[in-house]
Amino acid sequence: MKSIISRIFGDRSKKSTQEGAVAQRGEPVSYSGLIIRAAPERTGDQWRLAGVIIKQDGDRALERTYLRADTFSTREEAETFAIRKGKQIIDEQGARLFADGELSGRA
């Protein structure tokens, strides 16, 4: 029965799973002793600029995520600009970025 309904209306569960899924992280890029990983988020037919900055602190990794309103037509473009934005955040915030010592947070 489900397959008949899926054929008529389309499989909406796939679409909602893809849009709601955790963004896949790109390759790590080392910058100023930190790691930047692009993590663009799919929004309809566009990719939203997003990423994470990681600081290794002994046996734990501190992470700061960032999400911007900028959108791009390809994942590759979004990744390129996410790395650029990550470098800008590091340059602007420096040591303050991880001053609170929390494991995760927003940049």
- 12-51: per-residue pLDDT in tens? 444 433 444 457 999 999 999 999 999 999 999 999 999 9
Q: Which fold has domain 23-106?
A: Double Stranded RNA Binding Domain (3.30.160)
pLDDT at 104: 84
pLDDT at 13: 43
| pLDDT tens digits, 71-80 | 999 999 999 9
Residue 38 has a CB neighbour count (10 Å cut-off) of 27
Q: Please report, for the chain, the start and end positions of each structural domain, with discontinuous segments joined by +.
A: 23-106
**Whole-number average pLDDT of the chain:** 85
Q: Which residue has the tokens 């929004």?
A: 43
Q: Which residue has the tokens 């909406």?
A: 12
The confidence band for 1, taking pLDDT boundaries of 50, 70 and 90, is: low
Question: What CA–CA distances, in Å, run from 78 to 6, 43, 72, 105?
Answer: 32, 12, 6, 21
Give yes or no for a contact between 75 and 47, defined as CB atoms under 8 angstroms apart.
yes
